[in-house]
Amino acid sequence: VDGADSFDPGSFSGTACSKLLWVRCRSAVEMIKAADLLVHDGNVPFVLLDTTGLVRRDLSALPASAWWRLKQNVERTGGRLVVMASFPLVPCAALRLSLSAGLSLRDFDSPRDELLDRLQVQSEGLRRAT
């Protein structure tokens, strides 16, 4: 679910996008509603919410109850939900990961594989479902 309609499918191969359902949204509210429909349906086993490009104030205004409902529906259907955000956004997240690579403008033309090798992942905690 593309929260700010910013995904560029042209930067990936057709094979990489062959099983992709791209939901284009223009606001945080649209994004959360689209995710709720996909998760509730249960036929999409993996849902990725990309919040990049959305205004932090709008994301922070989403009610905690919306996140809890998503979590409960994901648990009920056995699916997976991943939220990409630049700050801790989901109050009921079971696992929070922080990714960093220390990139600069000089790295803009570097090959994707080289950049992925520099990626560092840090777990910020695991919460038990209640």
pLDDT digits (tens, 9 = 90+) for 58-94: 999 999 999 999 999 999 999 999 999 989 899 998 8
Contact status, residue 52 vs residue 3, Cβ threshold 8 Å: yes
Contact status, residue 68 vs residue 96, Cβ threshold 8 Å: no
Contact status, residue 97 vs residue 123, Cβ threshold 8 Å: yes
Global pTM value: 0.78
Residue spans of alpha helices (H) in the chain: 28-41, 56-60, 64-77, 112-118
- Cα-based distances in Å from 75 to 34, 81, 91: 17, 10, 16
Amino acid found at 67: W
